[in-house]
Amino acid sequence: MPRFRIQCWKTTLVGTSGSGKSTLLRTLLGFVIPQAGTIRIFGRELDKHTVWELRTRMAYVAQEPEMAPGKVHDTLEAPFAFKNNQCLREKLEKLPALLDRLQLSGKILEKDFEKIKKSINS
């Protein structure tokens, strides 16, 4: 792919299925390693060290997110098992307010993802 620039907050990726939109996003977040060339984001070359900083500044939401089996609460807790994320654990304290804002009961945290997914799809 030739050189290109993406302006912050001003770019939308549009294309047919299979055209590479998701692959580009996954590459920008360091999930896919390019076979050639380099990626620079915020003026810094993307590598195994800078990818973590980048991930704190960007978000990726997959079309078909993969959810770990088990309860919602377990999945929300999982990222905090990583050493790099333990300093963010207080973010979980905002969960009750977020559930309230979304008009969801706290009981949803004890539900199994598969059951929720089935109820949404039916």
Task: Say yes or no: 3 and 56 in one domain.
Answer: yes
Task: Say yes or no: 42 and 83 in one domain.
Answer: no
36 contacts 11 by C-beta, under 8 angstroms: no
- pLDDT at position 107: 92
Task: Say yes or no: 6 and 37 in one domain.
Answer: yes
Residue range 80-98: mean pLDDT, rounded: 86
In terms of Cα–Cα distance, which of 35, 20, 24, 91 is closest to 60?
Answer: 24
Residue range 48-60: mean pLDDT, rounded: 78
pLDDT category at 1 given cuts 50, 70, 90 is: low
Task: Say yes or no: 55 and 86 in one domain.
Answer: no
Last residue of a domain, one of 64, 91, 107: 64
Give the predicted TM-score (pTM) of the model.
0.50
Helix (H) or strand (E) holding 44: strand 44-45
Task: Say yes or no: 54 and 91 in one domain.
Answer: no
- pLDDT at position 99: 93
Q: How far apart are CA 15 and CA 120, in angstroms?
A: 27
Residue 75 clears pLDDT 90, i.e. is over it:
no
Provide the number of structural domains found in the chain.
2
- pLDDT at position 101: 94
Task: Say yes or no: 51 and 82 in one domain.
Answer: no
Residue 20 domain boundaries: 1-64
Taking only the tens place, the pLDDT of each residue in 21-45 is: 888 888 888 888 888 888 888 788 8
